Structure 1
Amino acid sequence: MKPILQTAIWAEFQRGLGKTVHEAEGPGWSFLAVEEKTPLGMYLYAPYGPCADGEPELAEALRALSALARSVRAHYVRVEPVAAGLGADAATVLTAKGLVRAPADVQPHLSWKVDLREEEAELLKGMRSTSRNLYRNIHKKGVSFEISTDPADLPILLGFLAKVSGRADFTAQTDTYLTKAAEVLMPAGAAKLFIARLDGTPIAAALSYDTADTRVYAHAAADDAHRKLSAGIPLLVTMMLDAKAAGMAEFDMWGVSPEDEPDHAWAGFSRFKRSFGGAGVEYPGTWDLPVNRLMYNAYGFTRKSRTLLRGALKTARATAGSVREKLQKP
């Protein structure tokens, strides 16, 4: 299954944002790669790509990406081969091909997916009982659900996201980014907006990204004034069952935290995602293929220097604060 981030419509969306995007394919492989600029130059980024039928096809895709990088003077290629069939041997295979682990993952390397090929009754049975009951009964409280493919409805979600960003440790995509996504993807059938309404007034909304076989739970937020209704739960169930009715095979909850890290920043909404049934999926993560080794090493040195400087400044501020506190004591 080709991820939404590796599709032609995603390339069109990225170009709409002003990005330079390259697409190529060969027997058993394909990629979408975006030019990304840094103070030291440019690199190519293939989000959740390249796609390949297996290891030999992946090797061809990497060769094509390297050649492209040299032609556009990119210093390295950043890849996330989630659809290459590497399995548990991913790190060994990628290291053998000259790739190195990126300093941090760009896209999540852990996801949570629900198999939509099950019967509806089984899907509902796999959820937490409170989720099932909310979905079945929330209409009694005056809540209804609407599905929109009109980009003009996106401000409903943007308003909720702005409020969430303002009150929590959460950073939403910019309005410009999401507006362009809606303008490009929704008319093409690659995105839908789901809206929960209380007596006609929007109280929650979620945007999905869709391919022929997968729906991605991309962006969601709710009105805090109605949080006791928990409308986001039946809204998500509505998204899942609509995807099933459309013939999709899986519902991708997107990123989750490791289950054995209860203090992880994502732990709360990861528990929420896991409460709908499904199973975890682990990807190879983000890897770099250096093309200009000198410049790639310079990039790494600069990044480490910045990290050390930030750490030193943080320590200095803490020390200064401690000294001031002691001086102020009688």
Structure 2
Amino acid sequence: MDHFLQSQTWADFKASLGRRVHQQSGPGWRFLAVEEKNPAGKVLYAPYGPVATSPEAFDAALAALVKAARSCGAVFVRIEPVSAGLELPSAAAELRRRGLQPAPVNQQPELSRVIDLEGDFEDVLAAMKPVNRNLYRNIHKKGVTFRTSQDPGDIRILLNFLHMAARRNGFKPQSDEYLTQVAASLMPAGAATLFVAELHGDPIAAALVYDSADTRTYAHAALDDSHRKLSAGIPLVVTLIADAKTRGLKHVDLWGVAPSDQPDHKWAGFTAFKNSFGGREVSYPGTWDLPVKKFRYRAYRLARKLRTKLLPTPSA
């Protein structure tokens, strides 16, 4: 799968935020990496990258990343080799052999739910829970319709619903400024689309998706609390899946699910929602660091461990 986080449009978006972006390619490999700040100093981060077709191509990409890191003074390179010619479960051993070590936390999800769109769309529908199919086919009877938008100004619809969800569930969404800039950069380029569910012409739910060459990623979604009983979020997702099929995309990545053996995971609720659309579970190697300035990196990891030990333990 070709992930949007390694796309040219994502590079353009990061550059619009004032970030310095590094892009290189060679035989069988390429990467997009962004300079970021960290308690250790500067970091060169390749989200869901580098992309490589073989272990040999991955080694070449890694060497180029290290060279770029040295040129900009980065303390370490941070990667997430989801499409790098490394097969699970041996990927961890292969990465360690190359001098990488697991990052303190994963920056992007290491487990996802992917729907493959090859074949007939009726087969995609058949893999979903019956309630999902029924809502998709019949919700128009309740006056609900769906539309798409690539007008950056329409992002305010999603922002309003995200504010409602944040108040209801007590979480902190990404800032309005960030998502507004995402819309301004990616929507005119055709790399992001807003799907809106409307009841008699009034918005009641919205979802923002990102498209790469072959994959649509379900990124942000929320709905109007006062219309929860309509369950418009379900046919909204089916609609964006159907639209991806119509556009010739090969996959829809529902992005970020909890492990099936962790029912108390903080993502368990929306994982059950995502699983109801069928598809397959996909595991990634996670986030890994390759030290460039080894002493500085060791000091950073040691300081992080000490800070963790000194944190107060929550009372029972």
Letter paired with 1:251: V
Residues in 1 aligned to 2:276 and 2:74: alpha-carbon distance in whole angstroms:
43
1:33 is aligned to 33
1:64 is aligned to 64
User: TM-score if structure 2 supplies the norm length?
Assistant: 0.97
Q: Deviations over 1:240-294 (max 9, x none)?
A: 0000000000010000000111110001100110111100000010000011110
2:43 is aligned to 43
Residues in 2 aligned to 1:126 and 1:148: alpha-carbon distance in whole angstroms:
28
2:103 is aligned to 102
1:75 aligns with 2:92: no
Question: What percentage of residue pairs aligned between the two structures are identical?
Answer: 56
Q: Deviations over 1:2-37 (max 9, x none)?
A: 310011110110111121111111111111111111
Letter paired with 1:15: A
Residues in 1 aligned to 2:170 and 2:80: alpha-carbon distance in whole angstroms:
27
2:295 is aligned to 294
Q: Deviations over 1:107-164 (max 9, x none)?
A: 0000000011131111111110000000111111110001111111110000001111
Deviation at 1:39, TM superposition (A): 3.4
Query: Which aligned pairs between 1:88-167 and structure 2 lie closer than 5 A?
Result: 88=88, 89-167=90-168
**Residue 307 of structure 1 aligns to a residue in which SS?**
helix
Letter paired with 2:79: V
Q: Deviations over 1:27-51 (max 9, x none)?
A: 1111111111123311111000000
Contact 2:152–2:183 (CA under 8 A) maintained in structure 1: yes
1:196 aligns with 2:223: no
2:52 is aligned to 52
1:24 is aligned to 24
Deviation at 1:212, TM superposition (A): 2.1
Identify unmatched segments of 5+ residues in structure 2.
none
Q: Deviations over 1:168-224 (max 9, x none)?
A: 143321111111111111111101000000111100000000012110001000011
1:324 is aligned to none
Residues in 2 aligned to 1:38 and 1:101: alpha-carbon distance in whole angstroms:
16
**Residue 239 of structure 1 aligns to a residue in which SS?**
helix
1:250 aligns with 2:246: no
Paired residue total: 315
Identify unmatched segments of 5+ residues in structure 1.
320-330
Letter paired with 1:228: K
Letter paired with 1:109: E
Instruction: Please provide the CA RMSD for this pair.
Output: 1.2
Residues in 2 aligned to 1:123 and 1:61: alpha-carbon distance in whole angstroms:
36
User: TM-score if structure 1 supplies the norm length?
Assistant: 0.93
Residues in 2 aligned to 1:257 and 1:50: alpha-carbon distance in whole angstroms:
24
Letter paired with 2:228: R
1:226 aligns with 2:227: yes
Structure holding more helix per residue: 1
**Runs (4+) of structure 1 moved beyond 4 Å?**
none
1:282 is aligned to 283
Residues in 2 aligned to 1:249 and 1:256: alpha-carbon distance in whole angstroms:
20
Letter paired with 2:160: G
Letter paired with 2:67: A
**Residue 254 of structure 2 aligns to a residue in which SS?**
strand
**Residue 290 of structure 2 aligns to a residue in which SS?**
strand
Contact 2:2–2:215 (CA under 8 A) maintained in structure 1: no
Residues in 1 aligned to 2:85 and 2:112: alpha-carbon distance in whole angstroms:
16
Say which is worse superposed, 159-168 or 56-65, in terms of deviation: 159-168
Residues in 2 aligned to 1:166 and 1:306: alpha-carbon distance in whole angstroms:
31
